[in-house]
Structures are given as structure tokens and as C-alpha cells.
Amino acid sequence: MLKIEREVILAPMAGYTHSAFRRLARELGADRTYSELMNATGIIHRGDERELSYFTDLERPIHLQVYGRNPEEVAQASEILVKKYRPDAIDINFGCSVKKVLKAKAAGYLLQFPKEMGRIVEETVKALKPYKVLVTAKIRLGFYEDNLEEIAENLLSAGVSAIALHGRTAKQGFSGKANWDRVRDLKEMAGKVPVIGSGDVRDWKEVDVKFEETGCDGIMIGRAAVSNPWIFKEYREKRDIEVKLPERVDFILRELSMMWEFFERERACKVIKAHITQLFKGIRGKAKLNDSVMRSKSCDELISNLLRIKEEFSP
């Protein structure tokens, strides 16, 4: 059984939660990290996962996240990841519902087929047993409708070691509000199996409230951590922390230098732009700042623009 006790966890987010950001989040107080989702077929046939599966010991405990269409494929891809990288756990994504994934009839698509979800977990648990690596799952409430009871039943009897629940249906996308009452219901169903709640945690003060209200074992923070990675430190120190622009620029430069370990130099500079926009949220004059970042055509230009911004905003 996986031991998770009142952990605050960086949620997996494609495009953001690569090794560099995970390391920085751990440093700021996140207890556990997940990789972004990786396609099982790509792992098996093309070794596609190289950039996305890269991690260092500083990110542990880390779950590498896989999605795929059928049990054999997910089990095989998971075994490849475990042999190559030795993560602390394999997480199976049953939540993502972007077009590409739905077309592949995988991930969130499978919320419509709880029995198939169970078979995928069962097969993967079996494949990873010799390596003593556990299997977790990240789910939503259902696809069109809330189908949580049937989903939970199938995952639990298949031997899942923890379940993370984003309290919306796939059809909802990110609209409406995440339903944390269902996180509490899932915890009741899961018994000793750890349950992690996810969705709409924006402020460190909400974390303890959600632990108390639901009895869950972990809480994931996603979007709020992208624009404010210091939220983990705020929770640890139980105080609001205001992070000014120069410190934000230093964060970006550190993130970028770590990204060069696993991304080609110019690609890293393209990828980080989305994160920079998020980190500049709420800063006065952000439109102008974003403009100069987005217009940068190379790493050299991006870095010199960031340094100029830092200089301009330094006291």
C-alpha cells in the first residue's frame, strides 16, 4: 500500500510539470510529483517518452503517468518505464479528454467503461509486481455523468494503490466547480486505499479545510501552482507570501537552466513561454512584459529580455 498522509501534491499538467518545474515545486514544499501523461503506444514503439519521463531524485516520490487504450499496452508501457527509470509508482490517466486522446479511445474516454479501467489496472499491477512498483490512477467523476461508484469499485478490486479524483466529469472540462463532496464519498468507499482530491484549490488556506471536510489523504494543486508555485511554501509556513517580479524572473531562469538538461536549448525557451505568462499573472504592466517575452525569437533574446525586466523592476 502506498503511504500518503496529508500530502500536498503538484498535479500533473501537460506542458508545465516537467522535471525542472517539479524540482522547484518540491523545493518549495510539494510532497509528491507526477509526470505529465505519456502515450503507451509511443513508449512501446517509438521511445517517445524520453523528455517527459526524465526526472531526478529531487522529484521523488514521483509517479510516471501513462495512458493507453487497452490493458496489454498500458501494462507493457508501464513495465518499460519502470525498468528504465525506476519511478516510485506508475499512474494511469483516466481523466484527460482532449480530442487527440478521445480519438485514441483512451484516458478520459475510458470513464465510460469502468470494467475496462479495472482490467487496465489489474494487468498493470500484475506486470509491475516483480519490480515492487505500485499502480495508482487519476480519474474524473465519469464521462457524461457521475459514475464514481462503479469506477471506484472496479479500480479498487483491481488492486489500485491510490486514486486521485478531479471532481468534474470529462464533459464538464474545466467548467463549473469541482465537487469535493465526491472526494469524501470516494474516501469512504476506498477505506485504507489513499484518496487524493483535485480541483480548484486556489489558496493555501483551502487545503486544511478540504482535508477536514473530506478525510482525503492528499490534495493536488494544479493551475494555482503554475502561476504561484510558492503556494506550497505558503501552506507550510501558514502565511501569504508576496513574490515580486525580480524573484519571479530568477525562478524562470533557474527553471530554464534545468530544462536544458532534457530539452534541446531553443525548444526549452519555447516551452517555458507559457509558464512565464502564468508567472507574470497579477503583476502590474504584465501585458507589456508578456509582449516582450512572446516576441523573443531565440533563447539569447528571451534571456536578455528577462534580465532587462528584472533590472527595471528591481528596487
Ligand X SMILES: Cc1cc2nc3c(=O)[nH]c(=O)nc-3n(C[C@H](O)[C@H](O)[C@H](O)COP(=O)(O)O)c2cc1C
Per the annotation, binding residues for FMN are 12-14, 65, 138, 166, 222-223
The values of phi and psi at residue 166, to 5°, are -90, 115
Interface with ligand X by CB under 6 A: which residues? Answer: 11-15, 36-37, 65, 93, 95-96, 138, 166, 198-201, 221-224
Q: Which residues contact 142 (CB under 8 A, 6 or more apart)?
A: 111, 112, 148, 151, 169, 170
Q: Residues 96, 216, 269, 299: which is the catalytic one?
A: 96
DSSP 143: S
Residues annotated within a binding site: 12-14, 65, 138, 166, 222-223
CA distance 30 to 209: 18
Q: Which is nearer to ligand X, 224 or 299 (CB)?
A: 224
Q: Which is nearer to ligand X, 183 or 302 (CB)?
A: 183
| CA atoms 198, 199, 205, 210: torsion sign | negative
136-164 residues labelled b (16+ CB within 10 A) or e (exposed): bbbbbbbbeebbbeebbebbbebbbbbbb
Q: Which residues contact 313 (CB under 8 A, 6 or more apart)?
A: 244, 245, 246, 249
Active-site residue flag, 96: yes
Q: Which is nearer to ligand X, 172 or 305 (CB)?
A: 172
Distance of closest approach, residue 56 Cβ to ligand X, in angstroms: 19
CA distance 307 to 312: 9
Q: Which is nearer to ligand X, 245 or 268 (CB)?
A: 268
Distance of closest approach, residue 288 Cβ to ligand X, in angstroms: 25
Q: Is 86 left (phi over 0), alpha (psi -120 to 50) or beta?
A: left
Distance of closest approach, residue 221 Cβ to ligand X, in angstroms: 5
Distance of closest approach, residue 258 Cβ to ligand X, in angstroms: 19
Enzyme catalytic residues: 96
